[in-house]
Structure 1
Amino acid sequence: MSNHSEKRRPAALARVGRGLAIAALAGLLSACVQQPKSMYSWQSYQGSVYAYLKDDGADYATQTLALEKNIETARASNTELPPGFRAHLGMLYMKMGNGDKGAEQMLGEKEAFPESAPFMDFLLRNAGKPAAQQAAVGTPGVATPGAAASNVDQAAPAQAAESKKGS
């Protein structure tokens, strides 16, 4: 019996040796694999959106500068800007009173991501409207003070014409 176990020992050692060699080769090859490159240049975008939505008094100019820097680094590294980046930057520009730059960014978003066209068109249509008028347009059937005043203004000329006819 001792003869039989002596024959098995070298075969077992050979199997263990092959297993260790395969594990070492797999470890060596996995060390050479590079991590996949990100498709988009996110950098300051997510933090800017969070600060904008949190609305904790964050400075729009600071957010805009950070996003503009992100554009430059994305160009330098030859990566794309993520979806919504240009639209967010456009909204920041519009909040700061620079409607031309804001519209330019939204048109850029529409060009880069055609599926965003309906929403970008909506934002561009409503960009120049005052808040009271946007609220009246956004919620049909709900009267706002601005909407009620405009209805009164439109009714006043018609009432004046009626009173002239009756005189």
Structure 2
Amino acid sequence: MLNNLAMVRPVALGRAGRILAVAALAGALTACAQPKSMYSWQSYQPSVYAYLKDDGADYAAQTLAMEKNIETARATNAELPPGFRAHLGMLYLKMGEGAKGVEQLEGEKAAFPESKPFMDFLLRNASKTAENASQAAQPEAAKPAAPASQAAPEQATKKGA
């Protein structure tokens, strides 16, 4: 009887040891696996760096690379990172494509509601920039006449002369 108990115990420890070894191996392999990224970063970070560095940055090339990122993210069903749309919108605004820029800023605001105050600020500035650009593009004849308060001093000097 003692011999039977002695035989059962090493077999039980052997099974437990094997199970423990398999569990440890599975845990080690799982720990080495890379977690899936929450966002599709791709060329976003290099694009931001190039924009901030401003070494004669080619905004058209940056927007093209970022548009490719959008297509890749859509194809893989991945999310764009925070700030991606805002950065693309700023690039569009720098290139004079106001409608596309505003669309991207609105998209950033919709995707990340916490960015709403900053996106509203950028949108206000974008509309001011667009107004200034359109006024500068108007010919002199199409510009509105000067207000009467500015014309009055000229008339006063003529009367006094």
TM-score class, shorter-chain normalisation, is 0.5 to 0.7
RMSD: 3.6
For 1:126 and 1:154, locate their aligned partners in 2 and report how far apart those are by CA, in whole Å: 29
Q: Tell me which residue corresponds to 1:96.
A: 95
2:24 is the alignment partner of 1:26: yes
TM-score after normalising by structure 2 = 0.68
> Which deviates the most, 156-165 or 113-122?
156-165
TM-score after normalising by structure 1 = 0.66
Residue type of the alignment partner of 2:25: G
> Which deviates the most, 96-105 or 113-122?
113-122
Q: Tell me which residue corresponds to 1:40.
A: 39
Q: Tell me which residue corresponds to 1:127.
A: 126
Q: Which runs of 4+ in 1 moved over 3 A?
A: 14-21, 32-35, 153-167
Shift of 1:24: 4.3
Q: Tell me which residue corresponds to 2:65.
A: 66
Shift of 1:81: 0.5
Please list every run of 5 or more consecutive structure 1 residues that lacks an aligned counterpart in the other structure: 1-10, 134-152
Please list every run of 5 or more consecutive structure 2 residues that lacks an aligned counterpart in the other structure: 1-8, 133-146
For 1:16 and 1:77, locate their aligned partners in 2 and report how far apart those are by CA, in whole Å: 46
Secondary structure in 2 aligned to 1:51? helix
Shift of 1:20: 7.0
Shift of 1:30: 3.6
Residue type of the alignment partner of 1:88: H
For 1:43 and 1:87, locate their aligned partners in 2 and report how far apart those are by CA, in whole Å: 16
Alignment of 1:73-84 (within 5 A): 73-84=72-83
Change in Cα spacing, 1:16 to 1:121, as seen in structure 2 (3 Å) is same
| CA shift digits 1:60-116 (9 cap, x unpaired) | 111101100100111111111111000000010111111110000000011111111
For 1:55 and 1:154, locate their aligned partners in 2 and report how far apart those are by CA, in whole Å: 45
Percent of residue pairs identical: 66
For 2:158 and 2:113, locate their aligned partners in 1 and report how far apart those are by CA, in whole Å: 55
> Which deviates the most, 118-127 or 19-28?
19-28
